[in-house]
Structure formats: C-alpha cells, structure tokens
A and B are shown apart, each in its own frame.
Chain A
Amino acid sequence: MLSCKDFLKELSDYLDESTSPGAKAELDQHLKECPNCWVVADTTKKTIQVYRGTEPRAVPDRLKFRLLAALESRMKARQKNC
C-alpha cells in the first residue's frame, strides 16, 4: 500500500488529473483508507478553486492614464515613420 508521503508527492498531478490510470487507481484507494490524506486532498483542491475563482481587480485609473499616454506617444512615433 502507498504511504502518505508517496500520496502527497503525487497530489498535484492527481488534482490536475494528469496521473496515469494505474497510478490514479492506487491514489484513489489510498484516499478511501486514509482520512488524513482525504482532508489534505480536499482542502488543497479547495485552495486551488478559491484562487481560480477570484476576478482580477481593476487597474487604478492613474496607472491606466499613464500607460495610455505612453502608448499614444509610441503610436504617434510609429505613424510618422510609416
């Protein structure tokens, strides 16, 4: 049977569903028999979900204006060269 350490080494791939079918069966089995690893796997999965579900904040206006101004001067320079 797989040790907890072996399980944890594979946890990322397991959650990303990128393990081979054979390895997956072994990891599934470990989860059924080991409450600790079940908790770690479940809360790691939720950790990823909570970050993936976060929308990016708006860019501060001041920064947006600065960027657009810098870009505009590049755009003007390019048009002159064309």
Chain B
Amino acid sequence: MPTVSVKRELLFRALGRSYTDEEFDELCFEFGLELDEITSEKDIISKEKGEEKAKGASDVVLYKIDVPANRYDLLCLEGLVRGLQVFKERINLPRFEKIIPAEGEGQRLIITEQTAQIRPHAVAAVLRNITFTKDRYDSFIDLQEKLHQNICRKRALVAIGTHDLDTITGPFTYTAKAPSEIKFKPLNQSKEYTASQIMDLYRTDSHLRHYLHLIENKPRYPVIYDSNGVVLSMPPIINGDHTKISLNTRNVFIECTGTDITKAKIVLDIIVTMFSEYCEKPFTVEAVEVVYPNGKTHIYPELAYRTEKVKPEYINKKVGISETPSSLAKLLTRMCLKSHVTGNGNQLEIEIPPTRADIIHACDIVEDAAIAYGYNNIQMVIPKTYTIANQCSQEDIADKLGMDISATNAVRIANPKTTEFQVARTTLLPGLLKTIAANKKMPLPLKLFEISDIVVKDPSTDVGARNYRHLCAIYYNKSPGFEIIHGLLDRVMQVMEVPPNEEKGYTIKAAEVQIFRFIGTNAYEICAKLISVLSGAAFFPGRCAEVFAKGQSIGKLGVVHPDVITKFELTMPCSVLEINIEPFV
C-alpha cells in the first residue's frame, strides 16, 4: 500500500478547516485511508540516522497516509484534498478539459519504429501557464515518484519525464539509438556524458541504479529529442539537465513512455488532472499529438469520461441496503462518480472521470456507494445459506501408496531466502532433529512428533507436484528406545484399525542400510542428504526397518545413525519413525 506524506498544516489549509489527529484518523478510516503515522522530517531523520543529523531539520508535522493501491488519484496532497472535499460535499468534482490547439500550433511527439523493440509506447501533454510554489513543486515531484513506484512498477511499465517547454522547441522525436550515439548533460550534472557513461555514472546511485537493468543489455536505448537535437530524456533512466523545471517554469511538457499503453495513459491522466488546478485556466490541459511509426496519429491526454448505467436495485442488493435512486446518486457523487437518475427512476447514470481508472466494473461502483453510505451503517445479517458441514477427507487412497522420495524428486525453489530453504521438504525428520538441537536444555527424554505435509514432484498432477501427509516421531534419550518408537507405530496402527498382519494390515521388515559417508559439514547439507537417503542411510546399520501397509512400503523406523546425531549437534541416541499416513486419513 503506497504511503503519502503531507504537511498537516497545508492539508488543513486546503481542506478549509482543522481536525484533531483523532478526528482526521476517523475521517480516513471512513474513507478507506489509514493515518499511518504522525511525524516530522526531524523525527524521520533522527530515527534513521540519529539525533545528531536531525539538528536543523524541519519539525513541521507530517501526516503519513496509507492509500489503497488502486487509487492513483489520491497519491498527492491535491488529489487527497479533492477526494475528501467531494466526499464531505464541500466542493464538486472539477471537470477536466482537454484543449486542442489549432492546426499546426500544438505540440507533436513523433515515435520512430526503433522504439518498438525496447519501449514502444509514448503519450504526452502540456500544462500551460502553471504557477508553482515550493510546496506545489515538491508535490509535483513526489507524485511522479509515487506513480513510478506503484502503477509504473518501478518504471518498468511507464516512466515519466517533465520538462520546461520554454527551453525546447517541438516537434519532439521519441526514438531509440545505440548508447554510444546518445550524448547529453543528465539532470543535475555539470557535463555531458554518453549513454554508456551515464549507465556507469549511476551504477552506484542509490536511487537510479534500480532502473538501469530495464535497458542496459539492449542494443538501443530510448531517447527523446526536440527539433534542435536537445535531449529531453533517456527514459526510463534520467531527464536531460537542459529542460529541467524550476519554480519559475510556466509551461510544462509531460511525456510518459512505456511498455504498457493502458498504464501510460492512466499515468498521464493522473498527472494532468492533479496539477492542472494550478494553471491559469484551472483544470485545462493542452493536448499533444502523438504520431506513430505507421503515420497514424492520436491526441493525448485521453481525459476520457465514460458513462456507466447501473440499476439502483443492483447496488442495494449487493450492499444490503434500500436507498432511493436519488440518494444512491448522491452517495456516488460524493465518491467523485457524478451520478443522476434517468428513465422512470430505475436507472442510474454514472460518469466515471479520468481520475478513476480503478472503476472497471459495476462492482467497483457498488463499493463506492457502500463506502459513502458508511460500511459501519450497513445492517449485519446472517445469510440464510443452508449447508451441512464436512471435514476434509481424502479420496483415491490406493494410488497414494509407494511414492518416491529422492533428491531428484524434491521441489526446488528458484529464489530461496535462506540456504535452509532451497527445496520444499520431502521429509519431516530434519525439522524434528533441529527442534531437539534448539531445545537441548529440556529434560530427557524428548518425545516429539509432527503430522504435516511434505511435497514431491509428480508429473501426473496439473502443477507437477503434490503433497503427502506424513507422520514423524522421534525419541531422544540416553538409550535409543527403539521399542518405544515401535510401540508408537503399533498404537497408531491400532487406533487406525490396521491389524498387524502381512496381507491386509501392516508389518515391519529389516531394511538394508546402504553404507554412506557424510561429506557435508553443516546441518543443512545433512538435511539435503537426509532427503536423498531417507531410504535408509540415516539409520544405524541393523537397526532400521521398513514399514509396509497392505504390502506397500509407507516409511521407515529405526535408530538414527551416530553420524547424523553428531552432525545435528546432538549427543544422545535416538530412534525415529516417519511414515506416509495418506492411505489412512
């Protein structure tokens, strides 16, 4: 969930009133936000770097507000305030207007075909006669960063560049060139670098190094030029220094390039709808014509308004309320979904503004109606759904006997977190041995068991692997106590009504223990070994038996091999039982 930090004072000024922290927390809760933390820059620095470094930092109170991951329209102060003010019916949602300049007067962005292999999409727009202040400027930069981290998936799907339009001349060209052919002065640098040098320059940059991999190994890098060959940006890495915006910038050229056109359009819509309020003509955006390699053109931003028709009873039935159509329309309007009743009162027409890309189905409209109604005002009802409860039981018992637990049959993790967790376990024994090792201070004997699932590959299932329910028990004492573990097996079989006989019941038979040397030195390697050799070598020769049920092997019991005991840093003899109980559950 993205977190937006806003200055409390600015927020309250924009909301036109102040709140106590509790009141504001309550408002957030109702609206689906979360006031996560009340802090200040000073607090943050002092927490991260120590009090010394925090000296002189601002102690202006900051609210850190968690915003739902699909509400890109709430990722900055401007959007949050607009959302809350509309919710509280203090303002109406502004209508955003796209101004298309006369033929030949507007900006154009020409996409060349070289971009197809790396980052094929680009959209753009212009904010005219904008007035920045320090706070507005900071918010503008912050919003881009929030979008980059969330919907843009760390610039992989979309990257945003904003430029001072008065420093450049259109039409602009979005193309891709070999790294050696691109040369410009990157943002906030003092000299020119080639693209390859830029990659080296940012390899250690704490922020930008995370984006280098997106283009690094490609033969051509994306780049945007103006008509005089000035580099605007090399997306998704860095803008040029030439076009950088400042507090004095009046006209902003915004370009979004990416691999996902839907998201690029959403991102552009969000930026212009959030900041066009500071334009001389508020809430207006100047369109840019994008020319595709095939010669076709398209006007951006889309700023599309869409109308959805939903029946009032659909909303009432989904939420469990009985509001009149007009009151539902009012509820939705409070959620920035301007609505009115049409027909003979049995239809709602809902206008989805360009800020609400999250509304993709009627169920999203239903949720907004419910939020505006107040979740906690909805009457709780127990469903009349009549059902009879069943506990889980397994079918197809026969084919679950006799599976192959070997190293080659273990499921391996591609991105393991720790060396201990590189395969899904195929046996429970190592876990119990490690549990004993971690609890050596406990009085003897230690008698532990675990009934849990193990995983093995199985090409016959739809995902290629399956679980088996295992029972593992261990007896750890001054003497191995084989008879105790054996007695446990007998008791387990007795309560499962499996008699001790060869044909229909269970038997145990001496199992051959292959002589086996431990090469590894740590417990993990031993685990890996155990997985491969639970077939026998974990046991002391002559002290291991195989358990058969209905003629098929289901596991083993025996005295643990002294080498295994010492490798697990244990000191006492122990005996274990591990069987597959799938056939019995």
Do A and B truly interact?
Answer: no
Binding site for B on A (CB under 8 A): none
Chain B positions within 8 Å of A, measured between CB atoms, are none
